[in-house]
């Protein structure tokens, strides 16, 4: 049976392309029977990368146990961010750069996690450890994952590993890093092409915090006023999603990728938790100013978790 490899739901560029790079690593390791799949369609930014390198998007799966008994996780570990029937299959390996939470297996597994800026930079490090080579097209896709997660090395999630390996991958792929990176990031910010649901849910993840389910979406923009102009519809969409899916709180972080600032919009009972987490208050327009905040993983989840558990 083919082992399926996939990143988290609502795949971002790192999730989607790290499934491909981990599949290639497995093949070079002598495991040919693997397939990179995805838990959702590529977003606009990822589509730009796939089109640029003329690579088809991975097949989308909704469940895994109907076609395999073994999976490999990349770019996530929390079960509520994984395939719906994750509890029914064996997890052979995890390669990740997120916190470990809500994760449990019956059998031993290969688990590699490092607090680095992207899963692709970690996988590239593992390629180098084995002396494996990265094909040019894959190098371009891996570079795209790193660019996405680190906002072209500008996010505080960037570590020395990304500064070292991103230029190496760009060289293998023959990429002009600055030009390609900005074009790719901007491709993900075309709000006119996104529905309210795309904006709210397109990159959203669920987190358990002190027994509550907190849904945190993030959208990259080049102009925050585009989000502000659609705020009422966005809030109504967050409310509907929360009611339909049982989220206690829904938070949308809109991030200005050119100026490295965000605003937060929220629906739910726990807005005091958000205010405590960031030491700020929602203004009269129900917006939370988040200067310097660009990373959900590093600058939003930890303080919010602390506020919930206080």
Binding mask 117-136 for Zn ion (x = CB under 5 A): -xx-----------------
**Composition of the chain by helix, strand, coil, percent to 5:** 45, 20, 35
- Answer for which of 6, 9, 12, 278 binds Zn ion (CB under 5 A) is 12
Task: Give min distance, CB of 76 to Zn ion, in A.
Answer: 7
Strands (DSSP E) along 61-156, which ranges? 70-74, 90-96, 110-113
The residues near 25 (Cβ < 8 Å, ≥ 6 apart) are 123, 126, 127, 130, 132
In this structure, what token pair is assigned to residue 210? Answer: 């002190």
Number of residues that bind Zn ion (CB under 5 A): 7
Strand partners, 4: 35, 71
Q: Which is nearer to Zn ion, 14 or 270 (CB)?
A: 14
Task: Give min distance, CB of 60 to Zn ion, in A.
Answer: 16
Residue 131, sorted as left (phi over 0), alpha (psi -120 to 50) or beta, turns out to be: left
166, 153 in Cβ contact below 8 A?
A: yes
With vertex at residue 146, the alpha carbon angle to CA 256 and CA 191, rounded to the nearest 5 degrees, is: 35
Q: Footprint of Zn ion on residues 256-275 (CB under 5 A)?
A: none
User: Could you say whether residue 201 binds Zn ion (CB under 5 A)?
Assistant: no
In this structure, what token pair is assigned to residue 216? Answer: 């945190």
Count the neighbouring beta carbons within 10 Å of the beta carbon of residue 183: 13
User: Could you say whether residue 75 binds Zn ion (CB under 5 A)?
Assistant: yes
Sign of CA dihedral 245, 200, 254, 140: positive
User: Could you say whether residue 241 binds Zn ion (CB under 5 A)?
Assistant: no
Binding mask 141-180 for Zn ion (x = CB under 5 A): --------x-------------------------------
Task: Give min distance, CB of 43 to Zn ion, in A.
Answer: 11
Q: Which stretch binds Zn ion (CB under 5 A): 68-76, 85-93, 189-197, 221-229?
A: 68-76
Task: Give min distance, CB of 75 to Zn ion, in A.
Answer: 4
Q: Footprint of Zn ion on residues 91-110 (CB under 5 A)?
A: none
Q: Which stretch binds Zn ion (CB under 5 A): 25-33, 54-62, 78-86, 112-120?
A: 112-120
Give residues in contact with Zn ion (CB under 5 A).
12, 14-15, 75, 118-119, 149
């Amino acid at each position: 049976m083919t082992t399926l490899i996939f990143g988290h739901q609502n795949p971002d560029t790192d999730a989607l392309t790290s499934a491909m790079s981990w599949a290639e690593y497995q093949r070079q390791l002598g495991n040919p029977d693997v397939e990179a799949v995805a838990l959702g369609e590529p977003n606009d930014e990822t589509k730009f990368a796939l089109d640029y390198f003329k690579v088809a998007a991975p097949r989308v799966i909704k469940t895994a146990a109907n076609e395999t008994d073994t999976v490999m996780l990349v770019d996530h570990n929390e079960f509520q961010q994984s395939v719906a029937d994750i509890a029914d299959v064996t997890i052979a390996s995890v390669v990740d750069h997120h916190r470990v939470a809500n994760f449990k297996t019956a059998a031993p597994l290969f688990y590699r996690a490092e607090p680095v800026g992207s899963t692709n930079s970690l996988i590239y490090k593992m390629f180098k450890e084995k002396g494996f080579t990265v094909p040019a097209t894959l190098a371009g896709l891996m570079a795209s994952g790193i660019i996405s997660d680190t906002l072209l090395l500008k996010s505080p999630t960037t570590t020395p590993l990304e500064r070292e390996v991103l230029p190496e991958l760009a060289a293998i792929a023959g990429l002009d890093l600055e030009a390609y990176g900005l074009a790719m990031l901007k491709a993900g910010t075309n709000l006119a092409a996104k529905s309210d649901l795309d904006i709210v849910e397109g990159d959203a993840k669920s987190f358990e915090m002190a027994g509550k389910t907190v849904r945190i979406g993030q959208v990259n923009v080049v102009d925050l006023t585009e989000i502000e102009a659609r705020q009422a519809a966005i809030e109504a969409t967050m409310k509907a999603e929360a009611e339909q899916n049982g989220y206690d709180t829904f938070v949308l972080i809109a991030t200005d990728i050119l100026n490295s600032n965000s605003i937060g919009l929220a629906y739910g009972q726990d807005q005091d938790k958000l205010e405590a987490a960031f030491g700020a208050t929602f203004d009269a327009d129900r917006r939370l100013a988040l200067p310097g905040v660009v990373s959900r993983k590093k600058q939003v989840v930890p303080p919010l978790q602390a506020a919930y558990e206080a």
